[in-house]
Amino acid sequence: MQRFRRILTTAAVLCGSAVSMAAFAASAPSGVDQAGMDRAAQPGDDFDGYANGNWRRTTEIPPDRSSTGIFLKVFQKAEQRTADLVRQAGAGNPAPGSDARKIADYYAAFMDEAHIEQAGLAPLKPELAKIAAISSPADLATVLGSQLRADVDPVNATNFHTEHLFGLFVAQGLEDPAHNVPYLLQGGLGMPDRDYYLSTDPAMAATRAKYQAYVAKLLAQAGEADAEGEAKAILELETKIAKAHASLVDSEDVHKANNPWQLDAFAAKAPGLDWAAYFKAAGLAGQKAVTVWQPQAVQGIAALVAGEPLATWKSYLVFHTLNDSAGLLPKAYADASFDFYGRTLQGTPQQRDRWKRAIGAVNNDLGDAVGKLYVQHYFPASSKRQVQAMVTNILAAFNERVDSLDWMTPATKKKAKAKIATLKVGVGYPETWRDYAQLEIRPDDALGNRLRAEQFEYAHQLAKLGRPVDRGEWWMTPQTVNAVNLPLQNALNFPAAILEAPFFDPKADAAANYGSIGAVIGHEISHGFDNTGAEFDAEGRLANWWTPADQAHFKAAGQKLAAQYDAYEALPGLHLNGQQTLGENIADVSGLTVAWIAYHKSLHGKRPPVIDGFSGDQRFFLAFAQSWRTKTREAALRQQVVTDGHAPGRFRAQTVRNLDAWYDAFAPKPGQALYLDPAQRVKIW
């Protein structure tokens, strides 16, 4: 679930700056990009503008991107490295069945546009034939169950966006950390979130009309006789599914998710779907129970299976089968898909080069095979040791911070410190790698490769059921520019690719490293103690380890922070949802706090030098704000505000307003926009 696998930011904002890395190198050793600053802006009115104003004025969003910011530069570096490794994989004619052969063949098939055009819809004919043969509710349930797939995307899980009616997540039980269990998640929508179907906002209404036109276009391209009528019926069906969906805020409430249902109880609890046929086709018939994350959604969707015409469901399944694979179908399908999902939903004018899409697909389906090559070439042991030392310092700072909390009782402090002591931190890459021996990859079957990889991943997740929980399991590949907290495992993953300048530069001033990657590390540690992470104990068990008074104080502080973010306006009339972004905002405030403490610990009592006119604390806070510099197209920003648990970067940069040390460093005055009286500043950890 999204809150099980804490992330630094979403894929939608893993887009980076058009400013060159040379700009940061030129500013060494301070680690501050002075050229990107706007000295005319007042830090107390807009710290993001002060740190990033000139960069934002002079930066153009690349035509194949929905946004830009620091993440893109780091991502592009990892992408180019990965591309070189993938292209080199086929050199020397590697042995059939080897990882290198699979990597080379997967990439070659993806790039073979002529063969994709020639194949047409042939790779989908078996699935389309199954849909055409549906003649009863049991047939429908069987096809729906056969399409159940595993959610392994650390970006989005509680708000599971899938072409399939439900999604599956496999992880340890909420109250039983020794055993893996299956979780059933809401799905079934072609647009990103229920608000796209239900909102009265004119922009959303316009998007719905474009979506219906896109559905019709894809169906017509496939030869459906009444594409317009089917598209209208599909949108109406998905709107009913959206009405059944739980909101993102409700989906993030772990207590509402703890609903283990016995398999034989589904028919009574959620009537309408032939659950026996569904679970048999999904490979779950042998399970005693499945935990339902959003029970009302499952009940509502099951009722729709029985209540809507079979013909509508068949049209729905045909469209989603096409839509799910459109990027690897002939150009007419791929272009139509990009026109809606890229241009309409993200505002991106140009599709990414095919080789870039191919690299992303290889990373998705053969991630560990590529990851092994990546760390061998690009992640030296010295970098791993340096980051591990920072992690140790920040964990020690968090531990000390717990000791210093005057509002927390000794009993709660003891439990909090137990979580810190048992936290498992992975740096760079996993201890064990995935085995792809059973995954068939062909050099002339791009879509088949993708479909087999999807099924291979589903089988891998099912195989975890009944096995001991792997505490060291990673949910990101080493070449991913991101980081994650795993509350159920009480673990963190920091992939190698994010441990690069300007986030982490082994040659840079400590203030910049602690303000950037140090705040990232602190952020992920803090997720173990945010509004969701604090619900789990040291073993990853859903358990209340708070005294009532401590929990009341903690929740009150969280609501103050939620109100702070409610006031931010991303677009005219579109405010952030402070409750929706609360976990990430708590982690930002707490992570920045402990990173600052750790930075000062690293000085060992010495006074940091003034570099380029900035004190150590000024460099620390500027590095933090510059790490969150972003510029986003309006459509993509709207989608982020509606669907994401993270605030946009320019608001995350303003986190500094809650730290007393920032006031000492930049002297904001009462009356300025960011100034908070000491009593208003949110201090949680």
Using DSSP's 3-state secondary structure scheme, residue 482 falls into coil
Q: What is the pLDDT of residue 662?
A: 98
Q: What is the DSSP letter of 427?
A: E
∠ CA 382-386-387, nearest 5°, is 120
The topology under which CATH files domain 6-82+388-423+467-680 is: Collagenase (Catalytic Domain) (3.40.390)
| Range with lowest mean pLDDT among 126-135, 181-190, 543-552 | 543-552
Q: Is 60 exceeded by the pLDDT of residue 671?
A: yes
Q: Give me the mean pLDDT over the 405-433 stretch.
A: 92
Identify which has the larger pLDDT, 78 or 471: 78
| Range with lowest mean pLDDT among 180-189, 257-266, 301-310, 484-493 | 484-493
Residue among 527, 467, 461, 463 nearest 494 (CA): 527
User: Cα(618)–Cα(515) distance, rounded to whole angstroms?
Assistant: 10
**How would residue 30 be classed by pLDDT, with cut points 50, 70 and 90?**
confident
The answer to whether residues 262 and 279 touch, using CB atoms and an 8 Å cutoff, is no
The answer to whether the Cα torsion of 453, 455, 457, 459 is positive or negative is negative
Dump pLDDT digits (tens) for 342-359.
Answer: 999 999 999 999 999 999
Q: What is the pLDDT of residue 504?
A: 86
HSE (side-chain half, CA atoms, 13 Å) at 302? 22
Pairing, β 630-632 against β 67-69: antiparallel
Q: Is 90 exceeded by the pLDDT of residue 13?
A: no
The DSSP secondary structure of 11-36, one letter per residue, reads: GGG--B-SS-HHHHHHTTTS---STT
User: Cα(390)–Cα(599) distance, rounded to whole angstroms?
Assistant: 9
Q: Parse the chain into domains and list their residue ranges.
A: 6-82+388-423+467-680, 136-328
User: Cα(311)–Cα(417) distance, rounded to whole angstroms?
Assistant: 57
The answer to whether residues 310 and 134 touch, using CB atoms and an 8 Å cutoff, is yes
Q: Give me the mean pLDDT over the 596-603 stretch.
A: 94
Residue among 638, 640, 672 nearest 656 (CA): 672
**How would residue 301 be classed by pLDDT, with cut points 50, 70 and 90?**
very high
The answer to whether residues 447 and 116 touch, using CB atoms and an 8 Å cutoff, is yes
Q: Is 90 exceeded by the pLDDT of residue 243?
A: yes
Asked whether this chain's domains 6-82+388-423+467-680 and 136-328 adopt the same fold, the reply is no
- Amino acid code (one letter) for 177: P
Q: Is 60 exceeded by the pLDDT of residue 1?
A: no
| Range with lowest mean pLDDT among 193-197, 371-375, 537-541 | 537-541
Q: Give me the mean pLDDT over the 385-404 stretch.
A: 90
Global confidence as pTM: 0.88
Q: Give me the mean pLDDT over the 463-475 stretch.
A: 90
Q: Is 80 exceeded by the pLDDT of residue 7?
A: no
User: Cα(162)–Cα(190) distance, rounded to whole angstroms?
Assistant: 7
Using DSSP's 3-state secondary structure scheme, residue 141 falls into helix
Residue among 14, 30, 23, 19 nearest 513 (CA): 30
∠ CA 596-550-419, nearest 5°, is 60
What is the CATH architecture of 136-328? Orthogonal Bundle (1.10)
Residue among 233, 217, 229, 212 nearest 310 (CA): 233
| Range with lowest mean pLDDT among 25-34, 624-633, 675-684 | 25-34
Task: Find all residues with CB under 8 Å of 680, minimum gap 6, and list them.
Answer: 560
The torsion region of residue 593 among left (phi > 0), alpha (psi -120 to 50) and beta comes to: alpha
Q: Is 90 exceeded by the pLDDT of residue 76?
A: yes
Q: Is 70 exceeded by the pLDDT of residue 475?
A: yes
**How would residue 152 be classed by pLDDT, with cut points 50, 70 and 90?**
low
| Range with lowest mean pLDDT among 105-114, 203-212, 252-261, 651-660 | 252-261
C-alpha separations of 446 from 107, 327, 664 in Å:
8, 10, 57
Q: What is the pLDDT of residue 230?
A: 98
Identify which has the larger pLDDT, 443 or 545: 443
Q: What is the pLDDT of residue 9?
A: 30
Q: What is the pLDDT of residue 412?
A: 92
Q: What is the DSSP letter of 492?
A: E
Q: Is 60 exceeded by the pLDDT of residue 70?
A: yes
Q: What is the pLDDT of residue 151?
A: 74
Q: Quote the tokens at residue 595.
A: 């990173």
Q: Is 90 exceeded by the pLDDT of residue 533?
A: no
**How would residue 29 be classed by pLDDT, with cut points 50, 70 and 90?**
low
Q: Give me the mean pLDDT over the 481-485 stretch.
A: 90
Q: Is 50 exceeded by the pLDDT of residue 154?
A: no
Q: Give me the mean pLDDT over the 191-216 stretch.
A: 96
Mean pLDDT score of the chain, rounded to an integer?
Answer: 91
The answer to whether the Cα torsion of 263, 264, 268, 272 is positive or negative is positive
